[in-house]
Chains A and B, each alone.
Chain A
Amino acid sequence: MLKYLLRRLALTIPTFLALTLVTFIAIRMVPGDPVEVRQGEHGIDPIRLAKLRHELGLDQSILHQYWDYLVQLAHGDFGTSIRTQTSVASEFFTLFPATMELALCAMLFAVVIGVPAGVFAAVKRGGPIDHGVMGISVIGYSMPIFWWGLLLIMLVSERWELTPISGRIDPIKYYFDATTGFMLIDAWLSGQEGAVIDAAQHLILPTIVLGTIPLAVIARITRSSMLEVLSEDYVRTARAKGLSPFRVIGLHALRNALIPVVTSIGLQIGTLLAGAVLTETIFSWPGIGKWLIESINQRDYPALQGGIMLISCLVIMVNLFVDVLYGAINPRLRHGH
């Protein structure tokens, strides 16, 4: 097991290096640098431009800049945001809990609805439930997030007035410190009456919007994996033994069918983070998605590089964890077969 873990860990090193290079080069290929992009019609005096570029190290060769960046990273320093002049890591970790809270809720939503829906569709294969679930999941998968979010706001919040429109909590009624950064927990810690419920209400729409695509994917994967398992001999044997359908499906079939589903949940982290960019913008959710977009617009190189590196670390770690989990469930893999 340890050997397996070490091998997987070693594989992440080249991935990291490639990532640093790609993020470093890609943002520099976008026209306009952090100094010029700030200037309006005024333009900037060439002497001042040179001075500011020098202060940011932008007058060095790309290779030199890249090397400096690697050395800095090796010291665990993600740099200072050009825009706000605060440390990139501290900005990231201030905003990250908001994204995390939303992503966890969205994933929970996707699993809680997606897995049973997939199981039902598989059991009632070919029937109206199956067609219904699969039809809805195709729609869900192809839903443009921006449109979906605005539609829900207009219907649910504006017309029916069931949920708040945006933000994480009502700013007039509630005000407390961000102790953990997770609004539900902070609201609970604050002890203010109604704060937890208000925070939960603010979570409903963004959770649905962000969870829709993973929900569709999970429902489809559960269905196909379930179908495969249901045709296995041991399921037939279980049925022949006279076990109740609930035990056959819930205990014998689902447990085996879940292995590919677990893997897909790990892979969905990427989808969730990509979706978070749009979801956060629509719902004024103060997470890292919005922050990254703003960093691109302002050519805030350190913020962008640091942000992407930190997110990548996270995705790699989650995938590593899923791999390990998968290895634990499936001994064949662990032994490298």
Chain B
Amino acid sequence: MKSILRTSAAALFAATMLAGAAEAKTLVYCSEGSPENFTPAMNTTGTSFDAARPVYDQLTEFTRGTTKVQPGLAESWDVTDGGKTITFHLRKGVKFHSGVNGFKPTRDFNADDVLFTFNRQWKDDHPYNKISGGKFDYFSDMDMPASLESVEKADDYTVVMKLKAPNAPILANLAMDFMTVHSAEYAAYLLKIGKPEQFDQIPVGTGPFSFVAYQKDAVIRYKAFDAYWGGRAKIDDLVYAITADPTVRLAKLKRNECQVMAYPRPADLDEIKKDPNLNLMSQPGLNIAYWAFQVQKAPLDKKEVRQALIMAVDKATILKEVYQGAGSPAKNLIPPIMWGYNDKVTDYAYDPAKAKEMLEKAGVKTPIDIDLWWMPVQRPYNPNAKRIGELMQADLAKIGVNATLKSFEWGEYRKRLQAGEHQTGLFGWTGDNGDPDNFFFLLGCNAKGEPAGNNISKWCNAKFNEDMVKARESVDIAERTKLYEEMQEIAHDDAPQMTIAHSVVFEPVRKEVVDWKISPFGSHVFYGVDLK
């Protein structure tokens, strides 16, 4: 049966290709790997999110190319009860795709689909909670269970979400991939025919493209969904050609075997810039690499010592040597593309002489020994932590600070940092939902003034914390911006960490591609893109 269905899907695809051979616009995207499955809630990698994205929508959406939140499947929402109740008014007339396994939707999108999306991840006894292994990492990582009081259906097109405490960033959470809205009708259909595991392998959504076929490690095919609520996509067929090696991806792009490629190698950037057929687009990534000082340990408990260490390190050399042009110097915890960024903050200048002087003034007798931890893995914000550690070690030696380099296996490294076992350590963060709160919580403390787990500087500042809580509870962007600007000044002055760099995201596309926008989240969005 399955084979017959696939065959008919293949025939249909071939027929549309032949019929519209002259006009059909096919965009091929050279992606970097195979998705784990097509349910973003169960995944944590950009590769898997990219594969599901064309098929789905969320209640709220990020405006393409920005971190701004706009209406999606929820046409509008009201915030009441001091920010603790959010009422979503759902879009009417939204159609679901038909599945390539024979599923035919009989109704439009409604509140039941929203409840299904929440409850599958949230409730252990939900019939789909355990299907396909049932690990919903993002739902817990984004603190959804701790934030939600209830999510209920008021009528078919109204959903009421009650929160335990006012939480403005949750609207951005709802635009994230893990909150992708699924069809409750499709889920029920698969349960009825005894094949619930197909739910995560054969996606059915409301998105701009419907799923056609997937061959592991080879290709994923989608076609434009004629009845898409936002208007039909400008391209007809979308193909992901899975190509693991970045050099080969570039070769394919140059030969026009694909029109957009994922993740170029930094070493190839010059060559791409010179190619007249290619456009190299770039934007600072939504991330930060930093060097954290464990402020509970002497002599790092003194602000002057921390500032001296920052001034002793030559950031420009790190950017040149390690990032090789694919990084921009960071002076704040949040990247400049994010709202709330405080451009008035002036970065500490590289000044070893002054640094040495400051150490003396702070009563530190040189030479002193400190440890400097480096991450054993490459991360989007840090291409080579060991090399950065070595460069810093050399710089610190010049002011009489002997840094011992240290590392552990990644899981162990993270655990020990979070336990505060280090004196100084390299770490970083990649933004999840584009909300500044999603970065500032890294320096957050609880109501008792104890540092949270992710606060590896173990730094607590009452004013900083008070502002952060206030900003979280307000939905007024202007007010929140003011608070965040102030917090950046506090963090800069008290220096619990040295902010090193934001990586720069590069995306090469062919000249034929019209209206491509780089996503700050590193995701690839094909709706709205056209081909010349």
Contact = CB atoms under 8 A, between A and B. Distances in A.
Contacts of A84: 36-37
Contact of B248 (A37, A55, A282): A282
Contacts of A158: 251, 254-255
Interface string B21-34: 00000101000011
Given A48-B140, A284-B241, A284-B242, A82 B10 contact: no
Nearest to B428: A41
Given A153-B251, A157-B255, A171-B239, A43 B140 contact: no
Interface residues of A, number: 52
Given A176-B10, A177-B3, A168 B418 contact: no
B135 interface: yes
Interface in A124-162: 150, 153-154, 157-158, 161
Interface residues of B, number: 58
A284 B244 contact: yes
B133 A85 contact: yes
A78 interface: no
Nearest to B418: A43
Interface string B313-333: 000000000000000000000
Interface string B494-526: 000000000000000000000000000000000
A286 interface: yes
Interface string A164-193: 111110011001111000000000000010
Interface string A101-132: 00000000000000000000000000000000
Nearest to A282: B245
Contacts, number: 134
Interface string A12-36: 0000000000000000000111001
Contact of A150 (B26, B247, B252, B379): B247
B296 interface: no
Nearest to A176: B10
Contacts of B10: 175-177
B36 A286 contact: no
A287 B242 CA distance: 12
B411 A52 contact: no
B239 A43 contact: no
Contacts of A91: 216
Contacts of A287: 217
A38 B217 contact: no
A201 interface: no
Interface string B377-405: 00100000000000000000000000000
A247 B53 CA distance: 66
Given A84-B36, A175-B221, A290-B217, A43 B415 contact: yes
Given A83-B36, A177-B3, A177-B7, A165 B251 contact: yes
Most buried by A among B140, B221, B243: B243
A221 B436 CA distance: 66
Given A36-B411, A153-B248, A178-B215, A85 B242 contact: no
Contacts of B418: 43
A284 to B, nearest CB: 4
A319 interface: no
A176 B409 CA distance: 45
B295 to A, nearest CB: 19
A158 B526 CA distance: 27
B219 interface: yes
B196 to A, nearest CB: 11
B140 A45 contact: yes
B429 interface: yes
B39 to A, nearest CB: 10
B216 A166 contact: no
B218 A286 contact: yes
A231 interface: no
A161 B453 CA distance: 55
Contacts of A285: 217
A160 to B, nearest CB: 11
Dominant secondary structure at the B interface = mixed
A157 B251 contact: yes
Given A84-B36, A177-B3, A290 B430 contact: no
B430 A41 contact: yes
A172 B21 CA distance: 10
Contact of B244 (A41, A94, A161, A290): A290
A301 interface: no
A294 interface: yes
B266 to A, nearest CB: 17
B7 A85 contact: no
Contacts of B33: 294
Interface string B336-355: 00000000000000000000
B140 A40 contact: no
A164 B243 CA distance: 13
Contacts of A294: 33-34
Interface in B247-281: 247-248, 251-252, 254-255, 257
Contacts of A38: 44, 135, 137
Contacts of B251: 153-154, 157-158, 165-166
Nearest to A46: B415
A40 B242 CA distance: 24
Contacts of A177: 3, 6-7, 10
B244 A32 contact: no
A284 B218 contact: yes
Given A166-B248, A282-B245, A85 B200 contact: yes
A41 B17 contact: no
Contacts of B3: 177
B429 A168 contact: no
A48 B255 CA distance: 47
A238 to B, nearest CB: 52
A52 B42 CA distance: 13
A42 interface: yes
Contacts of B247: 150, 153
Interface string A254-298: 000000000000000000000000000111111100110010000
Interface string B211-223: 0010111110100
Given A164-B257, A294-B33, A40 B44 contact: yes
9 contacts: A38-B44, A39-B44, A42-B137, A43-B414, A84-B36, A172-B237, A176-B14, A286-B242, A294-B33
Given A94-B216, A192-B14, 11 more contacts: A31-B412, A36-B410, A37-B410, A41-B454, A84-B36, A154-B251, A161-B255, A167-B243, A172-B28, A281-B244, A287-B217
Interface of B: 3, 6-7, 10, 13-14, 17, 26, 28, 33-34, 36-37, 44, 132-133, 135, 137, 140-141, 197, 200-201, 213, 215-219, 221, 237, 239, 241-245, 247-248, 251-252, 254-255, 257, 379, 409-412, 414-415, 418, 427-430, 453-454
Leading 4 A-B pairs by shortest Cβ distance: A286-B217, A31-B409, A36-B411, A286-B218
